[in-house]
Amino acid sequence: MNRIDDMIRQMCPDGVQKIRLGAVAEFSRTKTDSETLDRTTFVGVDNLLPNKRGRIDATHSANTSTVTGFAPGDILLGNIRPYLKKIWHADRSGGCSGDVLAIHVFNNASMPISTKYLYYVLSSDRFFLYDQQHSKGAKMPRGSKAAIMEFEIFTPPPKVQQEIVAILDKFVALEAELEAELEAELEARQQQYAYYLDQLLDFSGRREVPWKRLLDVGIFQRGKRFTKADYADTGIPCIHYGEIYTRYDVWTDRVASHLRKDTLARLRFAEPGDVVIVDVGEVVEDVGRSVAWVGDKPAAIHDHCYAFRTNLNPVFVSYLMRTSWFRREKVKHIARTKVKTLLIDGFSSIRIPVPPRQEQDRIVKTLNLFDTLISDISFGLPVEIKARRQQYEYYRDKLLTFPEKAV
């Protein structure tokens, strides 16, 4: 950092100029024939990875005859749900869908800008926060192209840009190596847990254990909608479908959110002992995700959730729904539109093993102990990964922040 500071003091004694992004870059104006693209050169928003993780090969082709073209050095930005932070510095030519913005740096002798330097600037949380603040739409927010071009960036001299890029390239490589090791360890623990879960809940050789349809051992009741405006710090306990992806595991006895008391009359509730099931998701894996509600009072559930009410041990049911065999059955009953949706009639016909209640309780006790052991390890590893990413973000922001030149 001292070397950068010294260079700035020598080359920019009055500070570093800040300019609009639109002064040095534009959205690509070129068009590419879709038939010339393959899975490695077509980029849709689905194959840009969240949290600035780059891209993967496309799983589908373009749905229009021509798409926006991009060239090596261009910066591709996911323009749907900016909070997902999807960005890639192109290393090849290709074409992208309409939900991906291709930002092209044009030659400007008076304000030269390195494409890699600009990529690092646009990868910053400062940019993505700005993009979110100017996005429009509630369910599927989109970034504002006009606002993006008004985003202000520092333009240090080319030698400083090169030095910053060299430092950040090395830092990214080291971070990626460390994260790969941590993620491999986490993956191994998760595979171990999944194997043990499947083994303990394997009743295929147990003829004395009946298999029954979900609809034969319980009833499904859909929740009712509530919105952000209905939330309160205290009040009626509630479970939002989005929280089942992010906040809850197999079971919970506490809610993360509450609603205003004056919303009571228009709500539906999961009773203690119900299994709350999500009926929608952006990816198939999220649809049908469940959490057993074992709190001491009813909890309001969103209309993208079902409460499954049964005399079975609800935690046993929630564990069953995480087994590989149940998930294979579940995917047969998901409508694969843009937003994936659970087909409840088919889902409720899935057959599950129904051992005696005493055995259900014993299995739950065993799995809870194993879950705690694995969770202690699995919790620590993601925290370490998150800490490394935060360290990188902090270091990058420091490198990309300069004394501003007075206008």
**pLDDT per residue as tens digits for the range 286-316:** 899 999 999 999 999 999 999 999 999 999 9
Tell me what percent of the residues of the chain surpass a pLDDT of 90. 65
Residue 335 sits in the same domain as residue 221: yes
Residue 23's Cα: distance from chain center in Å?
32
pLDDT at 384: 72
Q: pLDDT band at 127, cuts 50/70/90?
A: very high
Q: Which of 55-69, 127-141, 296-310 has the highest mean pLDDT?
A: 296-310
Please report whether residue 6 resides in a domain: yes
Residue with tokens 């070397």: 3
pLDDT at 98: 92
State pLDDT tens for residues 66-79. Answer: 999 999 999 999 99
In DSSP terms, which residues pair with 100 in a beta bridge? Answer: 78
Residue 266 sits in the same domain as residue 381: no
Q: What is the mean pLDDT of residues 181-186?
A: 78
Q: pLDDT band at 87, cuts 50/70/90?
A: very high
Distance CA 266, CA 237 (A): 14
Tell me what percent of the residues of the chain surpass a pLDDT of 70. 97
Please report whether residue 190 resides in a domain: no
Residue 36 sits in the same domain as residue 92: yes
Mark residue 9 as left, alpha or beta (left: phi above 0; alpha: psi -120 to 50; beta: remaining): alpha
Please report whether residue 319 resides in a domain: yes
Distance CA 123, CA 38 (A): 26
Residue 55 sits in the same domain as residue 141: yes
State the CB neighbour count (10 A cutoff) for residue 406. 7
Distance CA 107, CA 115 (A): 11
- Of 206, 248, 200, 211, the residue nearest 362 (C-alpha): 200
3-state SS assignment for residue 40: coil
Given 354, 377, 393, the domain boundary residue is 354
Give the count of domains, the chain. 3
pLDDT at 1: 52
Expressed as residue numbers, the domain containing 256 is 210-354
Where do runs of H (alpha helix) occur along 60-133? 115-122, 125-133
Please report whether residue 21 resides in a domain: yes
Q: Which of 99-103, 241-245, 379-383 has the highest mean pLDDT?
A: 99-103
pLDDT at 379: 62
Q: Check whether 378 has a pLDDT greater than 60.
A: no
